[in-house]
Amino acid sequence: PELERTAPVRHRPALSYELFPARSDVSFERLRETIRHLEATAPDYVSVTSRAGHGNFARVLEVTEHVLAETALRPLVHLTSIGSTRAQLTTIIHALLDRGVRGILALRGDQPEGHRLEDDEIPFARPLVELIREIERERTATLAGGRVSIGVAAYPHRHPESATTSHDTEVLVAKERAGADFAITQVFFDASAYCRLLERAQTAGIRLPLVPGFVPATNPRRLERLAEMSGVEAPRDLLHQLEIASDDVERRRIGVRFTVDLARRVLDAGAPGLHLFTFNSHGDALDVLDHLDLDRWSTTQGETR
């Protein structure tokens, strides 16, 4: 029979938020409230960070189970390989799939200083992607057709342990070949850094959507901590403006304006969506979205059924 044409469908750029697991029952209550506010913007998923070694896995499961049971959202659980054996990671992957998780961000994890690899440890993200795909294949029957969506990390600025950005590109190619579906970037504060990453990826034949990661740049202390962890420095001028702002309202105005401007530039350059690091507070993230008006970058596609 002839396919019936439906009205064209508008596709908004992808939208996701990053949360970290609660550290106490009180902060879990606050986190539930944050999730409730974020859910109102209909994100494609919310991601849940995890610590290398998975010492806080029970807390990761707590928020993941809450998202699955109490909201209409899809969780993307960060899974770090460093500090865990292959056997431990296998158990964790099964535990996530058993609960209905179908999105995993496969990461190596931040390497603790002086870390020495154990025999059975998975040293990089690529073999972790392979392990997830292997387990998915073994469990095809129990996944009821629900394919696992695997994300990986990508770097607009060279990863601090890589000698060159070309090496980073080779690593990203390897992660795609191992079965990754998309990548989320490390923070950056200059749209041209993201555009150069897109160019390098295109030249290398990478097809993964590269979703830019943003921190609402409203808190100078947080930006400094982030620089220590990621090696990516916020612009001095921005830090200075935040430092001399008269109060939190003014700081928020400056930080949100900077973030919205950056997000607009990368969306104009073809970014497939936005991933916002929320630090478990919805205010700044929602303010960024309000000012951005994501619908401006929606694409219209005819659809048939």
- In whole angstroms, how close is the CB of 198 to ligand FAD at the nearest point? 16
Asked whether the beta carbons of 181 and 208 are under 8 A apart, the reply is yes
CA distance linking residue 215 with residue 97, whole number of Å? 29
Task: State the amino acid at position 209 in one-letter form.
Answer: P
Is the Cβ of residue 139 or residue 162 nearer to ligand FAD in the bound state? 162
64 in contact with ligand FAD (CB under 6 A): no
Q: Is 252 in the site for ligand FAD (CB under 6 A)?
A: no
159 sits near ligand FAD (criterion: CB under 6 A) = yes
Catalytic residue chosen out of the listed positions 2, 18, 39, 65? 18
The string of DSSP letters for 180-222 reads: --EEEEPP-S-HHHHHHHHHHHHHTT--S-EEPEE--TT-HHH
Binding positions for ligand FAD, 67-106, rule CB under 6 A = 78, 80
Q: Is 110 in the site for ligand FAD (CB under 6 A)?
A: yes
Q: Binding ligand FAD by CB under 6 A: which of 19, 63, 93, 153?
A: 153
Closer residue to ligand FAD in complex, CB, 179/245: 179
E strands within the chain? 9-11, 14-19, 45-48, 75-80, 103-107, 149-154, 182-185, 210-211, 213-214, 273-277, 299-301
Q: Give the CA count within 13 Å in the CB-facing half-sphere of 187.
A: 24
Residue 109 binding ligand FAD, by CB under 6 A? yes
Residue 303 annotated to the active site: no
Binding mask 199-238 for ligand FAD (x = CB under 6 A): --------------x-------------------------
What's the CA gap between 292 and 287, in Å, rounded? 9
If one asks whether residue 256 binds ligand FAD (CB under 6 A), the answer comes out as no
Q: Considering only residues 54, 64, 122, 168, which one is a binding residue for ligand FAD as defined by CB under 6 A?
A: 168
Segment near ligand FAD (CB under 6 A); pick from 37-45, 163-171, 192-200, 257-265:
163-171
* Closest CB 15 distance from ligand FAD, rounded Å: 15
Please give the Cα distance from 214 to 259 (Å, whole number): 7
Query: What CA–CA distance (Å, rounded) separates 220 from 235?
Result: 11
Inter-CA distances, 154 with 113, 208, 215, 253, 295, Å: 22, 10, 16, 29, 26
Vertex 233 angle, CA 229 and 238, to 5°: 130
Residue from 65, 115, 124, 195 in contact with ligand FAD (CB under 6 A):
124
Q: 114 — alpha (psi -120 to 50), left (phi > 0) or beta?
A: left
Which one of 22, 60, 92, 184 is in contact with ligand FAD (CB under 6 A)?
184
Query: Any contact of residue 125 with ligand FAD (CB under 6 A)?
Result: yes
Name which position in 16, 64, 169, 186 contacts ligand FAD (CB under 6 A): 186
| Site residues (vs ligand FAD, CB under 6 A) | 49-52, 78, 80, 107-110, 124-126, 153, 159, 161-162, 167-168, 171, 184, 186, 213
Q: Which residues are catalytic?
A: 18
